[in-house]
Chain A
């Protein structure tokens, strides 16, 4: 910094001030001319007033001086006001300093210590730096999360920077320092007097930060001066060394509608005492913004232990699951904030089944058991219906099949006149048979044993090439599946009423498997939850739209964005964990995002940070106290002069 100083404007620009001065001075002069124009005083008898004319002659010269003095006073007041507005100040003649402030907004900055969050302390520090900026200094404020995000342009506008600083919020991401340092380096390259100030708690993902920082210093045209300000409170209590490091839901491909929940708990310390933990799982109904507790389990984790928890058969779960992990101390919840994670349950679509029958209460009762089956009974004479279905069950009838009714399950043998419409032929009649062989690994027989099924009368099915026999007696095939032009079919070679199958507990399960086999549910490969600090590519319906609305996180001061859609997937850089709603109101889908980090909040302060912390600071904030708020004094001077002018006017010293 050179020692030479000059005067500059920090408020109004020179051109603005000059224009204002010209206009206002003109206005003052016009007002002055109007003021010095003598007022006309009508009197009754002028001869009487002529007696005062002598004094007018005597004071004419003094009057001119007073006029001039009055105008000069008013112009002086105006000039002082303009100087105050322009924030006229003394500045150095050097080109100013260039400062990049990297403000850590990672998740650990939300931790509250001694009555204030780390981010609030960081904001206070940056605000202090802001006030020490000189008129010619420029600054760039960058929020550092999973990726660096400039909050302002590289500017000298302190008001704009102050407003951006106030709006900074913590994110549910780690602080990635390497890209942030690269950004700072590229910004400061070629700038005069480059400074880099890092305001952080020292936690987060280091990456190749050291190389980035040293590279920035090497590539800078002038020596880059780096300061580090640590916002941690050393005496603050450490968070509980317990972490919910994973939470996800997966469904069973072979078991329609079933899913299991995976959670992973970690004891983060390698030594020390065991920790008691309580895991609660809630089901969230987004439409009603209400949750219900589904599962609650308690665990004890030894030092360094990683405990996977698998929860199955969570009855009543739908929509979104929320997991809360709380530390237990002496059997009670410890006063630590619970860790929360979310997961969206896989969708369970309803299968529409058409039951073509003259009336079969066994079938209807069995179909009613499966809540994901929605069936409709139709007399054979009315087939085919106008609607479309996923599966059709032909109960002893064989009408000409149409593809609109979906895959077919044939039960029993056809009469001779209808055999032409059957997918198979029948070789012979069978009596008193059962399933002697069956495809045990076929999903149709999952958790099902048909060996004890007794059949009074059946027909032996004759499969065609490409068909698969799934079950047969020693005398012939009883259960065959295959593909026909109208779709997949499954044929059972006996009337249900000619066997005890319908009386067995396995029958509803068999029927459910059959429906699932004929109309297999779409197994989604979508993630149950996305990770913050990554690009989310979530499916969008309909896929043709150009952008999709995303709103969330629910219950945490939600925001709304329009995410672009590419190839049927919305693209969004997620930085906050929680539950989001995708799509227009009325057809919204849930989306969950979690933040799991083994380093954020737990990692030790980076060594270089410590080194910088101990070093003498380059950026001197001391100037705050030394800077003269000239505009205040100018304003006071203008007010004083105005008082003088008012006082002298009322004593007829000025006019």
Chain B
């Protein structure tokens, strides 16, 4: 600070959350979601009849295959024509339409709250939007909150009317604590019996690295979708000069002299982190979407997710 600056009154800097604090989920938000439908690229098994085709053969309308008759099978499923042509007792199998279980895993660590909680608010709204779309398509939606462990879980829900419970659940969350995806997701996969899309909404800031955690989901046959929420402010110092940088999660500090050159290095570092995550996911056929908090929810949903094929 310069000597003259001792007498300069600094304007109070308002965080983005202070500048704009509308309702997280208002009627407008819900109305927008009604026009969007989430589609899946693959079908998953489920217990209830839904709009998604399942590999599970059953009482569906669409023929799938034959198998040899075994005692106890429903004789109404015997294929009489095949028996007349080939003299073998075969049972007709149909693809049964089942519901799908979509799991949302929300990163609720302290790093999501920096920059005026812009990342966390974006993650809340995005999670809520996707959950609504899933519920609208009769999917079973479950919600898990992770920090350095699995801290909260919302049991699987069905039906659009349950979206308000999801809203309430999301609104009560506060970003705090450390991040350890691997530990948290290990618990998640142990508890989550139904496989299906596992949508990870996170900033991917994990000191231990996110790679093992994603592999863990893959190995447990979850269809992993990574929604990488990133904020340019994470690499943009609010002021230059000599500072002691402190990690909001670990509280570890590093002394830095922030200059324009260092600020440029930080921005490049943030881009590099995104590129690294993208390469990792692409190599493993994991849908990856880098979502800036500066985009609106509509842009995020209708643009980026549609390009990724997640919207029809």
* A52-B266, A646-B3, A649-B1 known; A38-B243 Cβ under 8 A: yes
Residues of B within 8 A of A63 (CB): 242, 257
Residue A156, interface by CB 8 Å = no
Q: Report how far A469 CA is from B3 CA in the complex, Å.
A: 109
B window 182-204: CB within 8 A of A: 203
Q: Is B256's CB under 8 angstroms from A44's CB?
A: no
Interface centre among B3, B115, B207 (most CB of A within 10 A): B3
Q: Is the CB of A49 within 8 A of B2?
A: no
- When distances are taken between beta carbons in the complex, the residues of chain B under 8 Å from A646 are 2-5
Please judge, given known A-B contacts A40-B246, A44-B234, A642-B4, whether A49 and B256 are in contact too, CB under 8 Å.
Answer: yes
Report A12-69 residues with CB < 8 Å from chain B CB: 31, 35-36, 38-53, 55-56, 59, 63
A645 touches B3 (CB 8 A): yes
Q: Which residues of B contact A49 (CB under 8 A)?
A: 245, 254, 256, 266
Measured between beta carbons, the chain B residues less than 8 angstroms from A288 are none
CB distance from B118 to the nearest CB of A (A): 11
Residues on A with beta carbons closer than 8 Å to the beta carbon of B270:
48
Residue A73 lies at the interface, judged by CB distance under 8 Å to chain B: yes
Given A55-B259, A646-B2, A652-B259: A41 and B244 within 8 A (CB)? yes
Return A597 CB to nearest CB of chain B, in Å: 63
In the bound complex, do residue A48 and residue B273 qualify as a contact, i.e. CB atoms below 8 Å apart?
Answer: yes
B237 partner residues in chain A, CB cutoff 8 A: 41
Once bound together, how far apart are the Cα atoms of A47 and B245, in whole Å? 11
Question: How many angstroms between the C-alpha atoms of A370 and B273 in the bound complex?
Answer: 124
A654 CB within 8 Å of chain B: yes
Distance (whole angstroms) from the CB of B250 to the closest CB of chain A: 7
Which residues of chain A are within 8 angstroms of B257 by Cβ–Cβ distance?
52, 55-56, 59, 63
| Residues in A neighbouring B245, C-beta threshold 8 A | 40-41, 43, 46, 49
Query: In terms of DSSP, what is the predominant structure of the interface of chain A?
Result: helix
Q: Does A74 contact B (CB under 8 A)?
A: yes
A77 within 8 A of B: yes
> Once the chains are docked, how many angstroms separate the CA of A3 from the CA of B1?
47
| B265 close to A645 (CB less than 8 A) | no
Q: Determine which residue in A42, A59, A654 has the highest number of CB atoms from chain B within 10 A of its CB, and name it.
A: A42
Q: Are B241 and A652 in contact (CB under 8 A)?
A: yes
Name the A residues within 8 Å of B265 (CB-CB): 51-52, 55
With A52-B265, A77-B3, A646-B5 known to touch, is A38 a contact of B259 (CB < 8 Å)?
A: no
Question: Within 8 Å of chain A (Cβ to Cβ): is B282?
Answer: no
Contact between chains at B243 and A652 (CB < 8 Å): no
Contact B252 A46 (CB under 8 A): yes
Within B207-263, the residues touching A (CB, 8 Å) are: 207, 231, 234-235, 237-248, 250, 252-259, 261-262
Assuming the A-B contacts A42-B246, A649-B1, are A48 and B254 also in contact, with contact meaning beta carbons closer than 8 angstroms in the complex?
no
Q: Is the pair B255, A56 in contact by a Cβ cutoff of 8 Å?
A: yes
CA gap between A646 and B240 in the complex, in Å: 15
- Known A35-B1, A43-B246: A48·B235 in contact at CB below 8 Å: yes
State the CA gap A602–B111 with chains docked (Å). Answer: 99
Most chain A beta-carbon neighbours within 10 Å: one of B1, B240, B255, B266? B1
B81 at the interface (CB under 8 A from A): no
- Are A645 and B2 touching (Cβ within 8 A)? yes
Segment 595-646 of A: residues with Cβ below 8 Å from B: 642-643, 645-646
Does the CB pair A46–B238 fall under 8 Å? no
Complex alpha-carbon distance, A77 and B6, angstroms: 14
Q: Which of A41, A44, A642 contacts B111 (CB 8 A)?
A: A44
Shortest CB distance B245–A (Å): 5
A540 within 8 A of B: no
Query: Of B1, B5, B244, B247, which contacts A38 at CB under 8 A?
Result: B244
Q: What residues of A have a CB within 8 angstroms of the CB of B5 in the complex?
A: 646, 649
A427 CB to closest chain B CB (Å) equals: 114
Q: Does A213 contact B (CB under 8 A)?
A: no
CB pair A40 B253 closer than 8 Å = yes
A35 CB contacts on chain B under 8 angstroms: 1
Cα A49 to Cα B250 with chains together (Å): 14
Known A646-B2, A655-B241; judge A44-B262 contact (CB<8 A): no
Whole-angstrom CA separation of A298 from B89 in the bound complex: 164
B234 touches A43 (CB 8 A): yes
Residue of B239, B242, B250, B259 ringed by the most chain A CB atoms within 10 A = B242
What is the bound-complex CA distance between A73 and B1, given in angstroms?
Answer: 13
Report A-chain residues with C-beta under 8 Å of the C-beta of B68. none
Interface residues of B in 117-141 (CB under 8 A from A): 119
A209 vs B1: C-alpha distance in the bound complex, in angstroms? 70
Q: Roughly how many angstroms separate A652 CA and B114 CA in the complex, as a whole number?
A: 27
* B205 is an interface residue with CB less than 8 A from chain A: yes
Name the residue on B nearest A55 (C-beta).
B262
Given A45-B234, A46-B245, A650 contacting B205 (CB threshold 8 A) = no
- Residues in B neighbouring A39, C-beta threshold 8 A: 239, 241-244
Bound-state CA distance A331–B1 (Å) is 84
Among A41, A55, A648, A655, the most chain B Cβ lie within 10 Å of the Cβ of: A41
Note all chain B residues with C-beta closer than 8 A to A652.
Answer: 240-241, 259
The CA of A50 and the CA of B243, in the complex, are separated in Å by 13
Question: A41 to B242, alpha carbons, bound, how many Å?
Answer: 10
A218 and B3 CA atoms in complex are apart in Å by 61
Q: List A contacts of B252 (CB < 8 A).
A: 46
Query: Which residues of B (146-186) have their CB < 8 Å from a CB of A?
Result: none
Per the bound structure, the CA–CA distance linking A45 and B107 in Å amounts to: 14
Task: Determine the distance from Cα of A27 to Cα of B110 in the docked complex, in whole angstroms.
Answer: 39
For A74, what are the chain B residues with a Cβ–Cβ distance below 8 Å?
Answer: 3
Question: Within 8 Å of chain A (Cβ to Cβ): is B269?
Answer: yes
Of A46, A73, A648, which is in contact with the most chain B CB atoms at under 10 Å from its CB? A46
Interface residues in chain B, defined as those with a beta carbon under 8 Å from any beta carbon in chain A: 1-6, 110-112, 114-115, 119, 203, 205, 207, 231, 234-235, 237-248, 250, 252-259, 261-262, 265-266, 269-270, 273
Known: A38-B244, A52-B256. 19 other contacts (CB 8 A): A36-B242, A38-B255, A39-B244, A41-B239, A41-B246, A43-B247, A44-B111, A44-B112, A44-B247, A47-B207, A49-B266, A51-B269, A52-B262, A53-B255, A74-B3, A642-B4, A646-B2, A646-B5, A652-B240
29 contacts between A and B (CB under 8 A): A31-B6, A38-B255, A39-B239, A39-B244, A40-B245, A40-B246, A41-B243, A41-B246, A43-B234, A44-B114, A44-B115, A44-B205, A44-B231, A46-B250, A46-B253, A46-B254, A49-B266, A50-B254, A52-B257, A53-B256, A55-B257, A55-B259, A56-B257, A63-B257, A74-B3, A642-B3, A645-B2, A645-B4, A646-B4
Closest 7 CB pairs of A and B: A649-B2, A46-B247, A52-B262, A45-B205, A44-B111, A44-B114, A646-B4
